[in-house]
Amino acid sequence: MTRAFDIIMAGIISGIVAFTTSKIGVGGTVIGAVIGSMLYQLLSYYFREPLKNVKTERVESRVVFAIPLMIIVVIEAIYLLGNFYWKPQQIFYLLEEATAWNLFRSVGVGLMVMGIYPLLQPETIKKSYGHILIIMGFIILLRGLVDVQSPIVTIYRTVFYEFDILIALAVILVLSYMVISILKDSVVIVREEEVSEENEK
């Protein structure tokens, strides 16, 4: 049953990603991946038959959670390199155009949504990561709103103009550390399972 559940969820997530991509563009891919990840976690928690090994389930959840973060790190890296090189800048403009110039807004909202999961499931993803993701998402969302004509935006717009490269670098480093940490924890769990199985034999 768990295998059938995974197959069904893979189809649903693919459909969500395809739909959001067709509506929003590349930014929709990020949002679709985030929504799909959250949906998978939610349905797994409430409807999926309990697996024989709880740790295996946590490994799957962590890997699924890390995938959208990897995508966002790549987007941020392209944006950062676009400040120095022509080719990444061209790629970034294509991404922005594909999302109707809402790329950072989409990424920011996506990260904030992802930040909710660790707060609800701290035994799978560290609760502190949830707070960090919400903060990172809020910062990226603010960056995406710098072109909006508003008195509030005017207050912080200069900060992004002056320190945007440092902010992008900080986001990349923080999210990269988080991805590595999540995957590293998964590897440790897998090794613990292997040792446990050998001891049982």
Per-residue pLDDT of the chain (201 residues), as tens digits, is 455 555 555 656 666 666 666 566 656 666 777 777 666 666 665 555 444 444 555 666 787 788 889 889 999 999 999 988 888 888 888 888 877 788 899 889 889 988 998 998 888 889 999 999 999 999 999 999 998 888 989 989 999 989 999 999 999 999 999 999 988 877 665 555 555 555 555
User: What pLDDT score does 1 carry?
Assistant: 44
* Predicted local distance difference test score (pLDDT) of residue 85: 87
Dihedral sign of CA atoms 193, 195, 200, 201 in order: positive
What pLDDT sits at residue 52? Answer: 44
pTM here is: 0.69
Supply the pLDDT for residue 103: 87
Gap between the Cα atoms of 98 and 110, Å rounded: 17
Give pLDDT, residue 51. 45
**Percent of the chain as helix, strand, coil, to the nearest 5:** 85, 0, 15
Return d(Cα 144, Cα 10) in angstroms, integer: 31
pLDDT at 88: 87
Which pair of structure tokens corresponds to residue 146? 């710098």
